[in-house]
A and B are shown apart, each in its own frame.
Chain A
Amino acid sequence: MSTAEFDQSVETLEPSMSGRSPALPIQLTARDISVWFGKRKVLEGVNIDFPKNTVTALIGPSGCGKSTFIRTLNRLHELIPGAALAGEVLYEGKDIYSPDIDPTHIRLNIGMVFQKPNPFPSMSIRGNVLSGLKLSGMKRSNHDDIVEETLTAAGLWNEVKDRLGAHAGELSGGQAQRLVIARALAVQPHVLLMDEPCSALDPASTLKIEETIRELSKDITVIIVTHNMQQAVRVSDYTAFFLAAENEPGHVVEQGPTTDIFSNPRDQRTLDYVNGRFG
């Protein structure tokens, strides 16, 4: 064992400073991430570690750069015209923005679910689940198993198992969103980014998706942007609170274990926000 590896393993074994849980290996790290659209800086100096197989919630009022931040984590950000970025995103220790990395590879390992359910309307339910394999040219055998596995993981299997050939357009909003989650899972990502996945859904569907998220975090790392603070408390292990002062870029005011952020915040603004005094 080399020294570097030894150091790393020592680090992972070391208990966290709060002493509540043993430190988990870090899967994804944002280091000094700042984001611009054109000349306007919208996000500044974000440093967050995302431990493996945990759920991290990103909370904060609208327009503070949460959604922008999450898009920098799987290189979707660069597809917006005028987008710029400083800092590093380390996925399993490697900078995903280094020139020799293929963005496709990153996006396959770090999946994403969007605010608005966006199944492909021209494909069937089954086709949607398998669409990631087609689009990325990935080869996996026994498609039937994948369809059943991922739809079960997304909590949709029982509702659609009899009509896998039906058009995806026939599903309700909540079902469509779970289908989209299944679609993202079918390419076996290690991280799943969720950008307000429940904001367009009714409470019952929201509950189902929250269950799904908890279930998923046994195997993969989930990062979820949400406006709903109860949701953050219910599903997440860690929370980061984003805030932007007027005409200033957004930044992370406070981050840490969800229980600490909600019950014992150290910054007054966090306290005000989690208690619903603004935002």
Chain B
Amino acid sequence: MSTIVFDKERVSELRKQKIQHPWRKRPRKFTFSVALAVLLPAAVAAGLLFGTDIPDPLVMILVYLPLQLVAAALAAIVSKGKHGIADSIIYVFAIGGSVFSLVILLSLIFTLFVNGLKAFSTQFLFQNNVYISPSTPLDYGGVGHAILGTLLIVGISMLVAIPIGVATAIYVTEVRGRAVPYVRFFVQAMSGVPSVVAGLFILTVLILTGALSTSALAGGLAYAILMLPTVARTAEEVLRLIPEDLRTGALALGSTRARTVMKVVLPAAKTGIVTAIVLGMARVIGETAPLLLVTGYSDSTVLNPVSSPISALPTYIFANVDQPYPNAVTRAWGAALVLIILVGILFVIARILGRGKVK
């Protein structure tokens, strides 16, 4: 072999080469066998599901699944040889597992909208439940009082949990005291406290001792226990992303540590902190168990946060679920739809803010 030098005259010819992805070309027998492996078991299963009386789950598990596995394995052997079998089987199971989860989620959301919308009307959103019995027609009454109650209770919990949660994050990322590992450990442990236990705690400390009656304040404090770890952990992650230069820069200008945190670090992390707060709200807004223990129940609109029982969306749903009256159940679905819409709004806000943070 001798030395070969690049032939410059070929450049114009090479420039005509088209972009190609040779690996995307599938041999026909591959496309054909995969199509067959997908369609055939599905067709057999559909035939049995609609054509016979064999119970659906039996068809799926005893006919469709084995047939699909065998078909996938055969397709793999045809196109890739024996070593493709394991892959084809894991594909079947992975897609099957994903479809299983998705079907549940879609069923949940679908039934929620179908049943919830039956209850929906302006008055459902703005009226309260006074003089409404479980059998009252859906033209009367609503969850206005429960929406207000939820907002009031979540608002109170925010007043408590946000300062403490953000302060915890500041301690971990800004003050960086000796106890950082312990503080993080406790916050993590706290995030695992079951909501019913948070309710029991407030119940024992404040209500059984007579310090407080069942009220929005008690509910807000129970929610705060659940909200605090979420706020603290998310805020900590956000503050970690603030570049160190910003802090040293401010300190070099003669700023005190406190002022650096308050005027430089926190404003820089503003959207992130708001995301943390929003996620904290989404975490607690549907919690039911603590409210059952500490807020009581009320059919009327309550604005007094300290001394009177109050309803929120979750407790309203809870009270209406197993009533033997269809209208009450429809009201529960309606309230559930309102609740999931509130959660959805919070998540969309968090997503939008999160996107801004990346830019």
A binding-site residues for B, Cβ under 8 Å: 16-18, 23, 32, 34, 36, 39, 44-45, 47, 49, 51, 75, 78, 83-87, 97-100, 102-104, 136-137, 238, 251-257, 260-261, 264-267
Contacts and interface: CB of A to CB of B under 8 A. Distances in A.
Interface in B1-46: 1-6, 10-11, 14-15, 17-23, 25-27, 30
Interface size class of B (residues with CB under 8 A): 20 to 34
B19 A266 contact: no
Contacts of A45: 6, 10-11, 14, 17
B4 A255 contact: yes
16 contacts: A16-B2, A17-B2, A36-B19, A44-B17, A45-B17, A84-B21, A86-B17, A87-B17, A97-B23, A99-B25, A99-B30, A103-B23, A137-B83, A255-B4, A266-B5, A267-B6
A161 B81 CA distance: 37
Contact of A254 (B4, B10, B14, B19): B4
B80 interface: yes
B101 to A, nearest CB: 26
Contacts of B81: 102
Contacts of B25: 99
B34 to A, nearest CB: 14
A174 to B, nearest CB: 33
B6 A18 contact: no
Contacts of B2: 16-18, 256-257, 260
B17 A32 contact: yes
Contacts of B86: 137
Contacts of A49: 1
Contacts of B3: 18, 254-257, 260-261, 264-266
A252 B5 CA distance: 8
B27 A256 contact: no
Given A137-B83, A267-B6, 20 more contacts: A16-B1, A17-B2, A23-B1, A39-B19, A44-B14, A44-B15, A45-B10, A47-B4, A99-B27, A137-B86, A253-B5, A254-B4, A254-B5, A255-B3, A256-B2, A257-B1, A257-B2, A257-B3, A260-B3, A267-B5
Nearest to A86: B17
Contacts of A264: 3
A36 B19 CA distance: 7
Which 9 A-B pairs have CB atoms at the shortest separation, nearest pair first? A256-B3, A97-B22, A45-B14, A78-B23, A86-B17, A18-B2, A17-B2, A99-B25, A99-B27
Contacts of B83: 104, 136-137
B83 to A, nearest CB: 5
A255 B5 CA distance: 7
A253 B6 CA distance: 5
A166 B47 CA distance: 57
* Residue among B18, B20, B81, B82 with the highest chain A CB neighbour number at 10 A: B20
A45 to B, nearest CB: 4
B18 A86 contact: yes
Interface string B125-153: 00000000000000000000000000000
Nearest to A88: B22
A113 to B, nearest CB: 23
B17 A78 contact: no
B22 A85 contact: yes
Interface in B81-96: 81-83, 86
A78 B21 contact: yes
A248 B131 CA distance: 80
Nearest to B85: A137
A84 B20 contact: yes
Contacts of B82: 137
A51 B17 CA distance: 27
Nearest to A21: B1
A265 B81 CA distance: 48
A201 to B, nearest CB: 30
